[in-house]
């Protein structure tokens, strides 16, 4: 589960990682009140789970409470790469002397944790890795041995951060590691970690992912979970036990098996379209599952057409077809639903769709034909 910046910073504060003082607001009035309480210059930050908020107009510095209100007015409701801003974080503005980067993550391939520290922060670490790899220090941490003091030194000295930042960075690195382990995180990233005018090292941004499988150990994380699952389709899918990921396009996708769904995304892309989601109904999906899947996808107003791509193995074509017909019977459907059925009971399935004789159903013989039809319909 990926946290919002303000939630990551709440965890930082809990583990003693220094963060700017601030609070979250959902209205411009609230943002003004927070700014007043903090006093002085503040920064107003869009709370969406995408990077590059600054460039998208999602981060604004404000001299006083009334300009904080204006900043929040401009940011709330903004669409940043398909994410609507419902909250802003209002923080005391920081005086930045230098921007660095710190992260610790699970390195599955090495069966270790990977800790990185860089003197180049505030930009994509991939960019730094490409243009200036010397500026990144890396250590692999054995989870059983833990982060060793010599490794902390290697990070701090190897990254080339300023001498006056070293002491603060040592403390930050140790605390981030402690939090990473104790919170069962899979990623803790601080970009930028900054050196302030008065030589303190603080976390100016946070990107934290927690391991869902470890939630039973953290009943106190329940609140984080409730706030994160705010996307209506994702919440609906979760309630119905469906495997669903929202994407940015307008062609809704249903397939059985992750591999088939991924190939479907590819053919939609080749046909010049963009998928609105990733929905894998899995093996053996029955009519009810199909009907629920369609309901979730159709509740997204961005969806202009749906592409159902099923290759029947355990899943039966007639069950899938019945699910589509059932969904059309109980939902108001205003977009075309392109259906490509193959494999087990595909013939029976096609017959069911034909007999339903519904104006929204568009049959297709092959995967590429189906993609073409769905993309055309979406345009
Ligand atoms: P992101 O671009 O979405 O990752 O958002 P960040 O939280 O990393 O902020 C982007 C940039 O905004 C930072 O790298 C800083 O340069 C700038 N910024 C953020 N907060 C402050 C602040 O309190 N003071 C100043 N001067 N700049 C800030
Ligand atoms: Mn950042």
Residues in the chain predicted with pLDDT less than 70, given as ranges, are: 229-230
Q: CB under 8 Å, gap of 24 or more: what pairs does 136-141 form?
A: 136/101, 138/114, 139/114, 139/115, 140/107, 140/110, 140/112, 140/113, 140/114, 140/115, 141/104, 141/112, 141/113, 141/114, 141/115, 141/177
For ligand 1, say whether the CB of 197 is within 6 Å of any of its atoms: no
- For position 40, what pLDDT does the model report? 94
Say how far apart CA 182 and CA 135 lie, in whole Å.
Answer: 29
- For position 224, what pLDDT does the model report? 87
Average pLDDT over the chain, rounded to an integer = 94
Ligand 1: residue whose CA is nearest its atom 14? 122
At the topology level, CATH places domain 96-225 in D-amino Acid Aminotransferase; Chain A, domain 1 (3.30.470)
At the topology level, CATH places domain 21-92 in Dna Ligase; domain 1 (3.30.1490)
Ligand 2 center to 309 CA (angstroms) = 38
For ligand 1, say whether the CB of 54 is within 6 Å of any of its atoms: yes
For ligand 1, say whether the CB of 123 is within 6 Å of any of its atoms: no
Nearest ligand, CA 194 = 1
- For position 227, what pLDDT does the model report? 76
Ligand 1 center to 49 CA (angstroms) = 15
Nearest ligand, CA 48 = 1
- For position 230, what pLDDT does the model report? 63
Ligand 1: residue of 5, 9, 42, 96 to mutate (most ligand atoms within 8 A of CB) is 96
Ligand 2 center to 82 CA (angstroms) = 18
Say how far apart CA 252 and CA 378 lie, in whole Å.
Answer: 10
Contact 139, 151 (CB under 8 A): yes
- For position 216, what pLDDT does the model report? 93
Work out which ligand 1 atom sits closest to the CA atom of 45.
7
Three-class SS of the chain: CECCHHHHHHHHHHCCCCCCCEEEECCHHHHHHHHHHHCCCEEEEECCCCCCCCCCCCEEEECCHHHHHHHHHHHCCCEECCEECCCEEEEECCCEEEEEEEEEEEECCCCEEEEEEECCCCCCHHHHHHHCHHHEEEEEECCCCCCCHHHHHHHHHHCCCCHHHHHHHHHHHHHHHHHHHHCCEEEEEEEEEEEECCCCEEECCCEEEECHHHHHHCHHHHHHHHHHCCCHHHHHHHHCCCEEEECCCCEEEEECCHHHHHHHHHHHHHCCCCECEEEECCCCCCHHHHHHHHHHHHCCCCCCEEEEEEEECCCCHHHHHHHHHHHHHHCCCCCCEEEEEEECCHHHHHHHHHHHCCCCEEEECCHHHHHHHHHHHHC
Residues 10-51: tens digit of each pLDDT: 999 999 999 999 999 999 999 999 999 999 999 999 999 888
* Phi, psi at 167, each rounded to 5°: -65, -45
Work out which ligand 1 atom sits closest to the CA atom of 5.
7
The ranges of the chain annotated as CATH 3.30.1490.20 are: 21-92
The ranges of the chain annotated as CATH 3.30.470.20 are: 96-225
Q: Which of 99, 189, 295, 319 is catalytic?
A: 189
At the topology level, CATH places domain 232-378 in Rossmann fold (3.40.50)
Q: Could you tell me whether strands 185-196 and 201-203 are parallel, antiparallel, or unpaired per DSSP bridges? A: antiparallel
The reply to whether 29 belongs to the active site is: no
Ligand 1: residue whose CA is nearest its atom 17? 54
For ligand 1, say whether the CB of 43 is within 6 Å of any of its atoms: yes
Write out the two tokens for 170: 């040592």
For ligand 1, say whether the CB of 229 is within 6 Å of any of its atoms: no
Cα angle, residue 253 at apex, residues 296 and 232 outer, rounded to 5°:
30
The reply to whether 100 belongs to the active site is: no
For ligand 1, say whether the CB of 319 is within 6 Å of any of its atoms: no
- For position 35, what pLDDT does the model report? 98
Work out which ligand 1 atom sits closest to the CA atom of 92.
23
């Amino acid at each position: 589960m990926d946290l919002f910046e303000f939630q990551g910073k709440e965890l930082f504060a809990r583990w003693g990682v220094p963060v700017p003082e601030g609070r979250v607001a959902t209205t411009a009035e609230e943002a003004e009140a927070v700014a007043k309480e903090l006093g002085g210059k503040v920064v107003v930050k869009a709370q969406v789970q995408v990077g590059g908020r600054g460039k998208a107009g999602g981060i604004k510095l404000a001299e006083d409470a009334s300009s904080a209100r204006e900043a929040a007015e401009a940011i709330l409701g903004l669409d940043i790469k398909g994410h609507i801003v419902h909250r802003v974080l209002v923080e005391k503005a920081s005086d930045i002397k230098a921007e660095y980067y710190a992260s610790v993550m699970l390195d599955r391939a090495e069966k270790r944790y990977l800790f990185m520290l860089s003197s180049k922060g505030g930009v994509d670490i991939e960019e730094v890795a490409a243009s200036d790899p010397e500026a990144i220090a890396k250590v692999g941490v054995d989870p059983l041995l833990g982060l060793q003091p010599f490794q902390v030194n290697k990070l701090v000295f190897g990254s080339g951060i300023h001498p006056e930042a070293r002491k603060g960075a040592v403390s930050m690195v140790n605390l981030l590691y402690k939090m990473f382990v104790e919170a069962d995180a899979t990623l803790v990233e601080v970009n930028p970690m900054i050196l302030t005018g008065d030589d303190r090292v603080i976390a100016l941004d946070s990107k934290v992912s927690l391991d869902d499988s470890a939630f039973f150990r953290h009943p106190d994380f329940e609140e984080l979970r409730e706030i994160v699952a705010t996307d209506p389709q994702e919440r609906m899918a979760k309630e119905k036990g469906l495997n669903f990921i929202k994407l940015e396009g307008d062609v809704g996708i249903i397939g059985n098996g992750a591999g088939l769904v991924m190939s479907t995304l590819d053919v939609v892309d080749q046909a010049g379209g963009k998928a609105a989601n990733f929905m894998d109904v899995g093996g053996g999906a029955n009519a009810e599952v199909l009907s629920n899947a369609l309901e979730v996808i159709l509740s997204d107003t961005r969806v202009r057409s749906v592409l159902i791509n099923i290759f029947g193995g355990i899943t039966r074509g007639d069950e899938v077809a019945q699910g589509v017909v059932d969904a059309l019977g109980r939902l108001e459907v205003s977009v075309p639903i392109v259906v490509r059925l193959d494999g087990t009971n595909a013939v029976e399935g096609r017959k069911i769709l034909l007999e339903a004789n519904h104006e929204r159903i568009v049959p297709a013989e092959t995967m590429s034909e189906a993609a073409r039809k769905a993309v055309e319909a979406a345009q």
